[in-house]
Chain A
Amino acid sequence: MRTFLAVFFKEVLDNIRDRRTLASALIMGPIFGPVLFAMVINLSIDRALDDAESTMELPVIGQQHAPNLMRFLESRNIDIVAGPEDIDGAAEAVKTGQHDVVLVIPEDFGKNLADTIPARIELYSDEANSQGEKEKRRARSALRAYNQQLAAIRLSARGVNPMLLRPINIDEVDVSTPSGRSAMLLGMMSYFFIFALLMGGMYLAIDTTAGERERGSLEPLLSLPVTRGQLILGKIMATCVFMAASLMLSLLSFYVVLEFMPLEQLGMTPNFGLPVIAAAFFLLLPFVLLGASLMTLVASFTKSYKEAQTWLSVVLIAPTLPILVVSILTLRPKLEFMFVPSLSQHLILVDMVKNEPLNGLHIAISVCSTLAIGAILTWVCARLYRREGLLG
């Protein structure tokens, strides 16, 4: 026990003294997530606002041929501007990205309309240009609405009920709650917590293994009258402390960022108050042991500090994989998922943020299986430290 504590306190002190590394670990990890998240949210708020309120400019060639249509478009918040000279110019302007869409109204538009011949208009766009998608969709739906309005007027003029053309009325009902909608966007934050957690202890995990060997301090250490199991346990626990600290910091910084985010504008009210933060901390805490022992184990196999860094960046990414697979396949939480670390924490965290009732069994399995895997990895580390090949 004394050996364990001596190693533990020495490693903690050593890491705290290493200011630059500590700063990169405790600031990079917890700050990186919220900042990225704030950027994504801001972007989607911009887009959402665009759709609803902003006016859109639509270049039109031959406006004089359809004054009524122009008025209709203006009533739908679309500004009519003068388009290019001719049709060739329109195609060119769309191709070069000068305009996203150009509407062309032929000279005979009014005459055809009057003769009830389908009056042709042309909407130029570039299907390959995904940035113009929104403009295109808006112009198309405005034109379709005008088309339907004219049809209705024609039918009424002939004494026919225009409702005949609408046998079905589709009403879409969105049952998602504001908290539920936020979970989609906030779904990625569970990975940021795991990322920050792992970052917090990564350098210590390297320093206590590959770093110690490279420095030449491992051999004197192993020649002391201590059992190697205690040495490695002290090292892993010190790494755990920094991982837990980093996790706490990242939860708090997310909380602060969400306070300042206008999420209501996106129709989201995430359930992410201080009680949820505390719950999330304890939910993710078992992952700390797993992360620390896994990183220590991987770093122990490497020959140098640099090699350890390379391999541990793979470990940083690994926890995303199960989350990614489940997100792509949009699978609902299931009992067997709870045995997979990182995935189980992700799924439970999403439910917490959605403010849905939590499944106690799921939480118990998640905590126990993650702790068990962490304990097994710690035991493997201790075994590894008994091998002489460790000295490299």
Chain B
Amino acid sequence: MIKVDGIHKSFGKVHAVRGVSFDAPDGKITGLLGPNGAGKSTTLRVLYTVLKPDEGSASIDGADVVTDSLAARQKIGALPHGAGLYPHLTARENIAYFAALCGIDKAEIDDKVSSIVRLLEIDEFADRRTKGFSQGQRTKVSLARALVHDPQNIILDEPSNGLDVMATRSLRRLILKLRDTGRCVLFSSHVMQEVAALCDDICIIASGQVAIDDSVDGIRERTGQDDLEEAFVSAIRMVGEE
């Protein structure tokens, strides 16, 4: 369960996030949707604690991301945007390194790594060094790395970027599987169709503010648009007019 309550974040003169609030409940997929530069990544970076909000607060299963950041990190698995791997280590070693850092017992690491490797269907290249991996392979390994400690809350920043059709489909299956086991999945995207196909709740962000935060049907209703894309556009216009 992720709660975000009125966070603000500025970088110098750029006021990137201006009071974003939303909840991402367990057992649901919440999509953070917005055009490029809307403040999606900044919001997520506050949630996985690499940035501190200037104002407002956020918590992961009750652990505040600023005052109790270690506990908050314990409860999340994060896939940052453009996450990189260690090129001299194999995919398996990359995953095992994160497993060790997450405090998994040495004896269990191999089992955990093997099961996540199977889950993400990366057996084929798991024992190769990650240097020269394709974008899809890299994303899968990064995702495996983020999930190896079985976190309750999963934060994915534009996970489908650079993935081909097959990879995107298997990513979707995985996200649905995670939801069905009661996880809280929060992911950002600028692709309308993807969010529509996957999410239970959608939080549309524009210019650092929440334009609309509702279920998919709720958004259709409130914008009076049947087509989600039209709903998206009109929601963003609403922010612009304020």
**Most chain B CB within a 10 A radius of its CB, from A217, A222, A224:** A224
B74 touches A216 (CB 8 A): no
Inter-chain contacts of B49 with A (CB < 8 A): 222-223
- B192 part of interface (Cβ distance < 8 Å): no
Q: Interface size of A by Cβ–Cβ distance < 8 Å?
A: 23
A220 touches B145 (CB 8 A): yes
- A18 part of interface (Cβ distance < 8 Å): yes
Q: How far is the CA of A336 from the CA of B86 in the complex (A)?
A: 45
- A215 part of interface (Cβ distance < 8 Å): yes
Q: How far is the CA of A282 from the CA of B100 in the complex (A)?
A: 33
Q: How far is the CA of A216 from the CA of B100 in the complex (A)?
A: 20
A388 touches B80 (CB 8 A): no
Inter-chain contacts of A6 with B (CB < 8 A): 97, 100-101
Q: Measured between C-beta atoms, what is the minimum distance from B142 to chain A in Å?
A: 7
Q: Which one, A215, A219, A226, A391, contacts B101 given CB within 8 A?
A: A226
Q: Measured between C-beta atoms, what is the minimum distance from A161 to chain B in Å?
A: 85
A391 touches B97 (CB 8 A): no
**Most chain A CB within a 10 A radius of its CB, from B51, B52, B93, B97:** B97
Q: How far is the CA of A2 from the CA of B87 in the complex (A)?
A: 23
| Closest B residue to A230 using CB positions | B101
- B240 part of interface (Cβ distance < 8 Å): no
- A7 part of interface (Cβ distance < 8 Å): yes
A224 touches B50 (CB 8 A): no
Inter-chain contacts of B97 with A (CB < 8 A): 6, 10
Q: Which one, A14, A216, A225, contacts B80 given CB within 8 A?
A: A216
Q: How far is the CA of A225 from the CA of B150 in the complex (A)?
A: 13
B102 touches A225 (CB 8 A): yes
Inter-chain contacts of B45 with A (CB < 8 A): 219
Q: How far is the CA of A388 from the CA of B51 in the complex (A)?
A: 6
| Closest A residue to B72 using CB positions | A225
Scan A17-32; emit 1 where CB is below 8 A from any B CB, else 0.
1100000000000000
- B103 part of interface (Cβ distance < 8 Å): yes
Scan A154-175; emit 1 where CB is below 8 A from any B CB, else 0.
0000000000000000000000
B50 touches A219 (CB 8 A): yes
Inter-chain contacts of A119 with B (CB < 8 A): none
A7 touches B88 (CB 8 A): no
Q: Measured between C-beta atoms, what is the minimum distance from A58 to chain B in Å?
A: 65
From 61 to 117 in chain B, residues with beta carbon under 8 angstroms from any chain A beta carbon are 70-71, 73-74, 76, 78-80, 82-89, 93, 97-98, 100-103
Q: Which one, A215, A222, A388, A391, contacts B84 given CB within 8 A?
A: A215
Inter-chain contacts of A17 with B (CB < 8 A): 88-89, 129
Q: How far is the CA of A295 from the CA of B190 in the complex (A)?
A: 40
Q: Measured between C-beta atoms, what is the minimum distance from B52 to chain A in Å?
A: 6
- B126 part of interface (Cβ distance < 8 Å): no
A220 touches B79 (CB 8 A): yes
| Closest B residue to A222 using CB positions | B50
Q: Measured between C-beta atoms, what is the minimum distance from B116 to chain A in Å?
A: 15
Inter-chain contacts of B50 with A (CB < 8 A): 219, 222-223, 388, 391
Scan A215-241; emit 1 where CB is below 8 A from any B CB, else 0.
111011111111100000000000000
Inter-chain contacts of A215 with B (CB < 8 A): 84-87
- B186 part of interface (Cβ distance < 8 Å): no
- B232 part of interface (Cβ distance < 8 Å): no
A10 touches B89 (CB 8 A): yes
Q: How far is the CA of A3 from the CA of B131 in the complex (A)?
A: 25
Q: A219-B50, A220-B142, A225-B102 are in contact. Are A18 and B88 (CB under 8 A)?
A: yes
- A13 part of interface (Cβ distance < 8 Å): yes
- B17 part of interface (Cβ distance < 8 Å): no
Q: Which one, B79, B84, B93, contacts A217 given CB within 8 A?
A: B84
Q: How far is the CA of A224 from the CA of B148 in the complex (A)?
A: 11
Scan A200-216; emit 1 where CB is below 8 A from any B CB, else 0.
00000000000000011
A216 touches B84 (CB 8 A): yes
Q: How far is the CA of A274 from the CA of B5 in the complex (A)?
A: 67
Q: A6-B101, A224-B98, A224-B102 are in contact. Are A388 and B145 (CB under 8 A)?
A: no
Q: Measured between C-beta atoms, what is the minimum distance from A71 to chain B in Å?
A: 75
B84 touches A2 (CB 8 A): no
Scan B16-54; emit 1 where CB is below 8 A from any A CB, else 0.
000000000000000000000000000001001111100
B80 touches A223 (CB 8 A): yes
Q: How far is the CA of A388 from the CA of B101 in the complex (A)?
A: 20
| Closest B residue to A227 using CB positions | B70
A388 touches B89 (CB 8 A): no
By a beta-carbon cutoff of 8 Å, the part of chain B in contact with chain A is 45, 48-52, 70-71, 73-74, 76, 78-80, 82-89, 93, 97-98, 100-103, 129, 142, 145-146
By a beta-carbon cutoff of 8 Å, the part of chain A in contact with chain B is 2-3, 6-7, 10, 13-14, 17-18, 215-217, 219-227, 388, 391
Nearest 3 CB-CB pairings of A with B: A216-B84, A17-B88, A215-B84
Can you sample 6 A-B contacts with CB below 8 Å? A13-B93, A217-B85, A217-B86, A220-B80, A223-B49, A225-B101
